[in-house]
Structure 1
Amino acid sequence: MSIRVLPDVLISQIAAGEVVERPAAALKEILENSLDAGATDIQVDLEQGGIKRIRVADNGSGIARDELALALTRHATSKIASLADLEQVASLGFRGEALASIAAIARVQLGSRGTDAEHAWEVRIEGGRLSEPAPAARAAGTTIDIQDLFFNTPARRKFLKAEATEYAHCAETVRRLALANPQVAFTLSHNGRVQLRLNADSAAARVRQVMGEAFERNTIAVDAAAGALRVSGWVIRPGAATASRDSQHVFVNGRYVRDKLIVHALKEAYRDVLHHQLNPAYCLFISLPPDAVDVNVHPAKTEIRFRDSRGVHQFLFHAVERLLSAPVTGCAVPEAASTLAVPGFRPGFVAPQQASMPLQVNEAMAFYAPLAAQGSGFRGQDSGEGVALAAQPFPESGHGDAPPLGYALAQLHGVYVLAQNAQGLVLVDMHAAHERVVYEKLKTALDARAVPAQTLLIPVALTVDARDAAEISPHLESLREIGFELSVTSPTSVAVRSVPWLLKNADPVELTRAVLREVAEFGVARLLAERRNELLATLACHGAVRANRHLTLPEMNALLREMEATERGGQCNHGRPTWFQVSLRELDAMFMRGR
């Protein structure tokens, strides 16, 4: 078979397969051209999910009469002129092939008027046949009208989904570009009905309009910089995360991207505070010099490559992780926090802009050292029905001096601590809260290579599997570094001589068996390296105060103060909330006060 040069129309149709996989892809390319042209008002009209028609009108700088034909020619663009330009692309589009690819598979009408032109000019193209420019009427800007997408490539058209599905993809494209460009007004209509109207506004207002008020209420603002690298935007509070990944938006230099490195960095930042398979939501804007990122990686331009990928990864990880790990101390509980499935309940996480210094290793509650000597002014009694009642809820200094989590009022069914703060009622899961406190102290101690051990008065012997005994024998010194002093007394028995001091109230047998189970599954070396935190979380769970443990009011208050000073204190080690806030306003509404 002889080699031949392909016709230009066929070349464009092949290119269209890479650039225009569905109506949303064509819409994205056109909208990016409008934004590159400086448009501040963009109107989008769709019919049949964009399959029948995509019409975009903007008020950008427009296209000159003599350049209308060039705009529809492959690899013709005003955005780059040299390799140097390509290496530091500042525009959304730059290849100059999108319009030509679209024109090869649809009926296209392109009309435009420059700001200084007397009137607009218009060209039409169908099946590669381009008309001569003709006068037209419109204000400054450009209108592109695409009809019957894939009309001449029926095999490709068969791969399109239902109208509702294609429209949903188009609407998501508009929302993404609207998030990145709050200074631009967008109007989206479908089959003659307006579906979305966004006026030019602030970034925060645009996020609220596009992602909803629930997202806004449940987020923490991010703003961090390292040299020329900067990230700003919003990330979801851990207690409001869901199983969906739909609300994950990242923009690099104004371009929406799907980058595995960024996703991994953010997932790692949430790893210690998310429950099971929940996913965080976020809307983040990353900016860096154009020459530090390669956007010419994929035809759809959603994939990029950073020149210093590790540096970007670590920057994002630390910027978000620092916010999520911040303790409650020194923060006011926000009135507009999130509302979860339990009506009126707000998840217990309030983050300042900067995390406090790491906690020093000190005595975990033994259970907790009594705080009565600090003059808290509490007197308590046991009702005999599972609730310890406080006779005096607040010190005489008044509500305004209350710490973020307030002062304990009672213990409910041996599981929950009820406390009063300036905003209203605080409910605490005492096991989950203490579990996080112990976990963070174990991490800090291990990082400092200073895990104090509690020697057992009488060593505890337990029978183990022969394989487990053989596995731990070479690693007894490593286990001693985390507070466990074990000795293999026979091929099937182990003696426990000491346990981590922070876990001294736990059952040493159950604690040791938990370690041996982890060792059997992962091995000691891996357990103390990549799975270190998972091991410490398991140990903290065993060492945390159990349900039905009666606490005195001073002990409850000691737990509240520990929570306020503990990083990531709003979630337990498994990502469940440790406390909720119910405001006085919500309580009044429950009892219809003031009506």
Structure 2
Amino acid sequence: MTDIIKLLPDHVANQIAAGEVVQRPASVVKELLENAIDAGATIIKLIVKDGGKALIQVVDDGSGMSETDARLSFERHATSKISSAQDLFNLRTKGFRGEALASIAAIAHVDMQTRTHTNEVGVHIKIEGSKIVSQEVVATPKGTSISVKNLFFNIPARRNFLKSNQVELRHITDEFHRVALVHPNIEFHFYNNGSEIFNLPKGKPRQRISHIFGSRMEDRLVPVNEETEVVKISGFICKPEFAKKSRGEQFFFANDRFIKSPYLHHAVSAAFEGLIKPDTYPGYFIYLEVDPSSIDINIHPTKTEVKFDDENTLYAILRSTVKHSLGQFNVAPILDFDHDPNLDTPYAYKEKGAVLPKVTVDATFNPFQEATERRSGGSFQKVSAKGWEDLYEGLDEDLDTDNFSSLAIESDSDVQGTMYTDDEVGEHLATTFQLRRKYVVSTVKSGMLVIHQNRAHERILFEKFLGEITVKEGVSQQLLFPLELSFNTQELGILQEIKDSLTNIGFAFESLEEETVKVTGVPLVVPESGIGTVLDRLIADYMEGFDTGSISQAEVLAQALSKNLAVRTGEILDQESQLALVNNLFACKEPTLSPFQKLTYTIISEGDIDKKFS
């Protein structure tokens, strides 16, 4: 039998490694930014075109590379960070495996110019699919500039799996945030398609957070600080009243590296227990500093999943630290058992002064005066009782006691004040009724119809909004006074992206300026008091939903709106609303399933009911 095992060529091995290291353009951004930081850069520029598919360029003023180092940097497992296996347990740099540049060069066109501080000229290298096309001496500023063009040009299947430019840009922005937040001492610039998105000067962590997420974040932050033998904790948490429906503003950093840790996230959430609603998430920017030997950052190719030696202790310390900060800055309610609330001054009287009581005396009062007399001028007059019979005028006519057709009856389900005649109530009660404030039950020829009120209303609203976005016939309710709402740069970018679709369904915007949005009109189904909440939830659902499949923007938007505006489980529906729900559901094109592919109704046949009594 001949030998069948053979070594793979380097370019094939690099493409396989690229499948682990480079998942999308954001992965390239992460690797290049981390290399620039390891090079000691003080100014880093990120330039992106077409969501990173056409171009990703990172320019830094770091130490640069010599001609030999520049050539070796594209070889597999070539790195300056470690020299032995023991070094893996004392890592303080970003990249250390030496696979990033080799993997990127295997699936893209790479152009690198670099020069050290001591050399007068630098080196220019061009690589296409792991093949070096050219290498020459060039005059270039000190530092390194790496351009990655036509990502996945030689792997069409991987390129086809990339999302739209807007989605890929969103992932790139997330990676940029993760790197910029942990390095406030470095100046960052971010350009997309020729326009500057972020200009982040050097500063303190709190200033860096405000520059990224908007100036309104400044008043929402509560500092967190604790130092123990196990871990040093610093950073900020957001006040409970600013908890959101999305997980956007949640960042953990361990030894200046962004990490994902559901276990530590649970510790923070436990500290906020009772202060925020169950379906909301607290915001936090927490920096952990631990002994490098007590953390393993090499368990995943992306290096975002880590393993701590003593997670239980870290959990307890983090939870206690967050709770201490909430109490220390009077964010959490405090119980004072020595306080007597009866001694508190009512809120309405706090600013009022004392008023002396006044006594008035009726000098004309006569206790011997008869009840039927009154004082008029200077004499007494009798009060006439004539005409008292007129009060009962008309009551001697015969009453038609058999005619109760117009008598209004209010049933237990008429909680919204809807009134029906006796015939209407009988008819409606025989047609539909609400079960457990969750289902609407009705009768059909084959048996009993049970409708899930929340899912059914989602389907109705979904098809309504989808039609309005497509046909552009949404009805808008104009606000008497424009409503001003604040959003960060990323949220504002999403609103600008979906502005046309929102306008088609009835939203009207006066302006979408920096951090501020003026709303002048809303759809009829959106309550004026809930405009801000609806837009917040819409942005959160859109950010999470637009990347889950290949559905269109209009469908994602219609899904998000129907989810947030549909009737909830637990709401009481009157008879008219129940009937409207049934009729509108079966007028839909797809009444069986909700927009999220869940069953909206079921029919229990008469035979199934009979079997229960057999």
Per-residue CA deviation, residues 499-551 of structure 1 (Å, 9 max, x unaligned), is: xxxxxxxxxxxxxxxxxxxxxxxxxxxxxxxxxxxxxxxxxxxxxxxxxxxxx
8 A Cα contact 2:230 2:314, kept in partner? no
Report how far residue 319 of structure 1 moved. 0.4
Match for residue 196 of structure 1?
Answer: 198
Deviation for aligned residue 1:28: 0.3
Query: What's the CA shift for 1:392?
Result: 6.1
Q: Which has the larger radius of gyration?
A: 2
Contact residue 65 and residue 133 of structure 1 kept, 8 A: no
1:80 Cα deviation after fit: 0.7
**1:344-384 alpha-carbon deviations (Å, 9 max, x no partner):** xxxxx379xxxx8x866x7x97xx5x43xxxx7x6x8xxxx
Instruction: Quote the residue 1:390 is aligned against.
Output: 349
Residue 83 of structure 2 aligns to a residue in which SS? coil
Letter in 1 for 2:113: G
Q: What secondary structure does 2:113 align onto?
A: strand
1:234 corresponding residue in structure 2? 236
Q: Specify whether residues 129 and 391 from structure 1 end up closer, same or farther in structure 2 by C-alpha distance, changes over 3 A only.
A: closer
**AA paired with 2:9?**
P
Name the CA distance, whole Å, in 2 between partners of 1:146 and 1:129.
14
Equivalents in 2 of 1:193, 1:213: separation in Å?
21
Aligned with 1:6 (options 5, 8, 17): 8
**Residue by residue, what CA displacement relative to the aligned partner does 1:260-299 show, whole Å, maximum 9, x if unpaired?**
2211111111122111211001111111111111111110
Alpha carbons of structure 1 residues 24 and 359: separation in structure 2 relative to 1, 3 Å: same
Question: Would the aligned equivalents of 1:36 and 1:91 in 2 still touch at CA under 8 Å?
Answer: yes
Residue 198 of structure 2 aligns to a residue whose secondary structure is strand
Q: How far 1:113 moved relative to its partner?
A: 0.4
Question: What SS is found at the alignment partner of 1:271?
Answer: coil
The answer (yes or no) to whether the contact 2:271–2:323 under 8 Å persists in 1 is yes
1:40 corresponds to which residue?
42
2:85 equivalent in structure 1: 83
Letter in 1 for 2:235: G
Equivalent position of 1:207 in the other structure: 209
Which residue identity is paired with 1:245? R
**Cross-structure match for 2:151:** 149
Q: Offset of 1:79 from its aligned partner?
A: 0.5
Answering whether residue 79 of structure 2 is matched by residue 120 of structure 1, we say no
Name 1:248's counterpart in structure 2: 250
Instruction: Give the corresponding residue for 1:582.
Output: none
Shift in Å at residue 133 of structure 1? 3.0
Q: Displacement of 1:156 after TM fit?
A: 0.5
- 1:179 equivalent to 2:181? Answer yes
Q: What's the RMSD between the two structures over aligned residues?
A: 2.3
Q: Cα distance, 1:227 vs. partner?
A: 2.0
Partner of 2:68: 66
Provide the rounded CA distance (Å) in 1 between the counterparts of 2:315 and 2:348.
50
Distance 2:329 2:203 in 1: 33
Report deviation, 1:44. 1.1
Query: Are positions 1:274 and 2:276 aligned together?
Result: yes
> 1:212-253: CA deviations, max 9, x gaps?
222221121111111251111110111111111111111111
Name which structure has the greater RCO, CA cutoff 8 Å, separation 6+: 1
Change (3 A) 1:164 1:394: farther
User: What letter corresponds to residue 266 of structure 1 in structure 2?
Assistant: V
Q: How does 1:128-167 map to 2 (within 5 A)?
A: 128-131=130-133, 133-167=135-169
Q: How high is the sequence identity, in percent, across the aligned residues?
A: 35
Secondary structure at the residue paired with 1:206?
Answer: helix
Specify the alignment match of 1:508 in structure 2: none
The match for 2:394 is none
CA contact (8 A) 1:74 1:97 kept: yes
Aligned residue type for 2:143: G
> Contact conserved, 2:127 with 2:134, CA < 8 A, in 1?
no
Q: Which runs of structure 2 are paired with 1:68-467 in the superposition (5 Å)?
A: 68-131=70-133, 133-227=135-229, 229-326=231-328, 328=330, 349=331, 370-371=342-343, 390=349, 393=352
- Tell me the distance in 2 between the aligned counterparts of 1:190 and 1:326: 42
* Structure 1 Cα separation of the partners of residues 86 and 114 of structure 2: 30
C-alpha change, 1:350 and 1:127, in structure 2 (3 Å) is same
The CA distance in 1 between the partners of 2:348 and 2:151, in whole Å, is 71
> Structure 1 residues 270 and 122 mapped into 2: Cα distance closer, same or farther (>3 Å)?
same
**CA distance in structure 2 between the partners assigned to 1:182 and 1:395 by the alignment:** 55
CA contact (8 A) 2:222 2:329 kept: no
> Shift of residue 325 of structure 1?
3.6
Other structure's SS at 1:3 match: coil
Aligned AA for 1:305?
Answer: K
Distance 1:306 1:392 in 2: 56
Q: Secondary structure at the match of 2:96?
A: coil
Per the alignment, do residues 394 and 261 of structure 1 end up closer, same or farther by CA in structure 2, a change over 3 Å counting?
Answer: farther
Partner of 2:57: 55
Contact 2:30 2:175 in 1 (8 A): yes
Match of 2:399 in 1: none
State the secondary structure of the residue aligned to 2:181: helix
**Letter paired with 1:390:** Y
Which secondary structure state, in structure 1, belongs to the residue aligned with residue 222 of structure 2? strand
Question: What is the match of residue 420 of structure 2?
Answer: none
Distance between the aligned counterparts of 1:251 and 1:168, measured in 2?
A: 20
TM normalised by structure 2 equals 0.55
In structure 2, the residue corresponding to 1:133 is in which secondary structure? strand
How far apart, in 1, do the equivalents of 2:83 and 2:13 lie?
22
User: Residue 275 of structure 2 contacts residue 332 of structure 2 at CA under 8 Å; is this kept in 1?
Assistant: no
Give the letter for the 2:184 counterpart. P
Provide the rounded CA distance (Å) in 2 between the counterparts of 1:147 and 1:198: 25
State the alpha-carbon separation in 1 of the partners of residues 351 and 145 from structure 2: 71
Residues 277 and 392 of structure 1: CA distance in aligned 2, closer, same or farther (over 3 Å): closer
Which residue is 1:17 aligned to?
A: 19
How far apart, CA to CA, are the structure 2 residues paired with 1:281 and 1:263? 10
Mapped to 1, the partners of 2:237 and 2:213 lie a distance apart of 12
Return the alpha-carbon distance in structure 2 between the equivalents of residues 391 and 222 of structure 1.
35
1:121 and 1:180 map into 2 onto residues whose CA distance is 31
Q: Distance in 2 between matches of 1:181 and 1:94?
A: 19
- For the residues of structure 2 that align with 1:389 and 1:68, how far apart are their CA atoms? 74
Once the two structures are TM-superposed, the CA of residue 326 in structure 1 deviates from its matched residue by 4.4
Distance 2:135 2:155 in 1: 27
1:11–1:392 Cα change, 3 Å: closer
Q: What is the distance in 1 between the residues matched to 2:350 and 2:98?
A: 76
Q: Which residue number corresponds to residue 478 of structure 1?
A: none
The whole-number CA distance in structure 2 between the counterparts of 1:326 and 1:41 is: 37
Q: Is the 8 A contact 2:34 2:95 kept in 1?
A: yes
Q: Structure 2: 5+ residue runs without aligned partners?
A: 356-614
Q: CA deviation at 1:110?
A: 1.4
